[in-house]
Amino acid sequence: MTDVAFSCSCGTLKGVLHDASPSSACHLMCFCKDCRAFARHMGQLDALEPGGGSPIVQVLPARLEITQGAEQIACLRLSAKGLHRWYAACCKTPLANTTGSPRLPFAGMWRPIFAQVEVFGPVVTYGFTKAALPGGPRKDKGLGRMLGGLLKRSLAAYLNGTARQTPFFDAGGAPVATPQVISAEARSAAYRE
């Protein structure tokens, strides 16, 4: 296992993912419209894979350490019930997707922020491919493996007492930055293909 550095585009926010390996993470490509809309809203369409896939690495939040610029962490939601989508306010670099509380210990990290990606191994899951743009895959792959890995990592985190450790929520379970639901106009623009 290896420690892998990550940073936002401008370098103001930096951190480390501890103990990175193919077995401690799930390297995936998400083709859902929401992830693509988030990338578009953040000005990151160039980082998407062919077919509009968002490159993501699912990890345990307890393994994430913000070493610089934690005050730059910001959060938005594409709808009132949408995922918490974390980004660096300084340069609008996507950081991670999480649920609305630390009870489910997972963070879908934006792969382009990592200094090394080979430590995660190859992409093992392709999800929501029915929403892929032309040039993308047309069949989901590895969803069972992704869910099984998520359950296994979550259970291990609960057993070792690290399940609620996360840089995105405080000790009381509140988000470290107030999630802002984007406006109807911004939402319409984000979903425009």
**pLDDT of 17:** 98
From residue 67, alpha-carbon distances to 84, 167, 186 in Å are 21, 11, 32
Average confidence score pLDDT of the chain: 95
**pLDDT of 193:** 79
Placement of tokens 């974390």 in the chain? 86
Residue 1 has pLDDT above 90, yes or no: no
| CB-based contact 77:86 (threshold 8 Å) | no
Pairing of β 107-110 and β 93-98:
antiparallel
Residue-range domain boundaries for the chain = 2-190
**Any idea what DSSP says for residue 133?**
P
Euclidean distance between CA atoms 152 and 150, whole angstroms: 6
**Which runs of consecutive H residues, i.e. helices, occur in 77-183?**
143-159
Question: What is the SS3 assignment for 112?
Answer: helix
Span 119-142, average pLDDT: 95
| CB-based contact 84:181 (threshold 8 Å) | no
Domain 2-190 CATH (choose: 3.40.710.10, 3.40.109.10, 2.170.150.70, 2.102.10.10): 2.170.150.70
Could you tell me the two tokens for 45?
């369409």
Band the pLDDT of 105: cuts 50, 70, 90: very high
Q: C-alpha angle 165/166/170, rounded to 5°?
A: 90
pTM: 0.95
- Helix H or strand E encompassing 185: helix 184-190
Span 124-134, average pLDDT: 96
